[in-house]
Amino acid sequence: MQDITGAVVADGQATPAALESGIGELLKTVGLRRVFSSGNSQVTALAGVNLCVTRGEMVAIVGPSGSGKSTLLHLLGALDTPTSGTVYFAGKSLEAISDAELTEFRNRAVGFVWQRHHLLPDFTAVENVAMPLLARGIASREALGAAHGWLEEVGLADRAQHRAGELSGGEQQRVAIARALVTRPLLLLADEPTGDLDEGNAGTIFELIERLHRSHRLTSILATHNLQLARRCNRTLVLERGLLVTGEESLVGRESASTRATGGRATAQEERG
């Protein structure tokens, strides 16, 4: 099967040097819209998002609940298809590539971390981390070896043989991060990765993501409610009712609204008054 990275390079839109060196744009969206239909009503989750992320950037996406953060991450990772608009990865439209390439993109170019870790509780930590490699047909000895290496990177080598269900919340999230990176993706997409953790664990997990982002020269996009953590990223984008509004300067003024927001666009609208 053709590697999407190879396909992109072969297409001449990004050179191997550009992909390797951290120069240039890795991800771009143009007019990205996603409308969900339920019954007679339609919900516009994304209303035309234009976004450009440079290789090596760590970008935070903040915004009230229901503003479209998860929808955007799903589209960036090709887990969902836009109603209209386009996602470009290394210059290539995800729409234009074959199903096989798309599968390859999801499985290899992107690593996902979710708010809930989604580990298999009855499998050991190392088996959970090895899972994406086993799914790709890599021999179990090699897959488990790589998984051990990643558990070391996230500081859990001593928990390798523990069942995932026996680990603490913070430890489970570290296993989930190792699992997301075991395939050596270029892009890390994290949807509220610290959302289920207490403040101390949230800080530790964020620092771990920061460290792995740097040491593995990842491009990372994190949706978060935690504005303190968001500020530590290279850039903060604010989503409101499915649209990106300007970043940093508007962030402070929106802080209280954001932290108070509880449920969806109605709340966001009320708060804007």
The residues that touch ligand ADP, with contacts defined as CB under 6 A, are: 36, 38, 43, 45, 63, 65-71, 264-265
CB closer to ligand ADP out of 152 and 270: 270
Please state, in angstroms and rounded to a whole number, the distance separating the CA atoms of residues 200 and 114. Answer: 18
Q: Which is nearer to ligand ADP, 38 or 215 (CB)?
A: 38
For residues 15 and 38, what is the distance between their CA atoms, to the nearest angstrom? 43
Provide, rounded to whole angstroms, the least separation between the CB of residue 1 and Mg ion. Answer: 31
- 170 versus 264: smaller Cβ distance to ligand ADP: 264
CB of 171 to ligand ADP, least distance (A): 25
Q: Which does 258 bind (CB under 5 to 8 A by kind): ligand ADP, Mg ion, none?
A: none
Q: Which amino acid is at 209?
A: I
Q: Select the binding partner of residue 115 from Mg ion, ligand ADP, none (C-beta < 5 to 8 A, by kind).
A: none
* Closer residue to ligand ADP (CB): 44 or 183: 44
From the CB of residue 217, how many other CB atoms can be counted at a distance below 10 Å?
12
Helix (H) or strand (E) holding 9: helix 4-10
Find which of Mg ion, ligand ADP, none residue 26 binds, CB within 5 to 8 Å per kind: none
> Min. distance of Cβ 264 from ligand ADP in angstroms?
5
Kindly tell me which of 65 and 86 has the beta carbon lying closer to ligand ADP: 65
Instruction: Provide the token pair at 63.
Output: 């915004």
CB atoms within 10 A of CB 132: 21
Contacts with Mg ion by CB under 5 A lie at 69-70
Whole-number minimum distance, CB 12 to Mg ion, in Å? 36
b/e string for 178-194 if b means 16 or more Cβ within 10 A?
bbbbbbebbbbbbbbbb
14: partner contacted, choices Mg ion, ligand ADP, none (Cβ within 5-8 A by kind): none
For the bound state, the minimum distance from the C-beta of residue 117 to ligand ADP, rounded and expressed in Å, comes to 17
Q: Closest distance between ligand ADP and the C-beta of residue 64, in Å?
A: 7
How many CA atoms lie less than 13 Å away from 265 in the CB half-sphere? 12
Phi, psi of 258, deg, nearest 5: -65, -45
Distance CA 226, CA 210 (A): 15
Residue 63 touches which of Mg ion, ligand ADP, none (Cβ within 5-8 Å per kind): ligand ADP
Closest CB 94 distance from ligand ADP, rounded Å: 18
- Contact present, 73 and 191 (Cβ < 8 Å): yes
3-class DSSP assignment, residue 64: coil
Query: Buried (b) or exposed (e) across 253-270, using 16+ Cβ within 10 A?
Result: ebeebbeebeeebebbee
From the list ligand ADP, Mg ion, none, which binds 54 (C-beta under 5 to 8 Å, kind-based)? Answer: none
CB 185 within 8 A of CB 177: no
Name the residue whose CB lies closest to Mg ion: 70
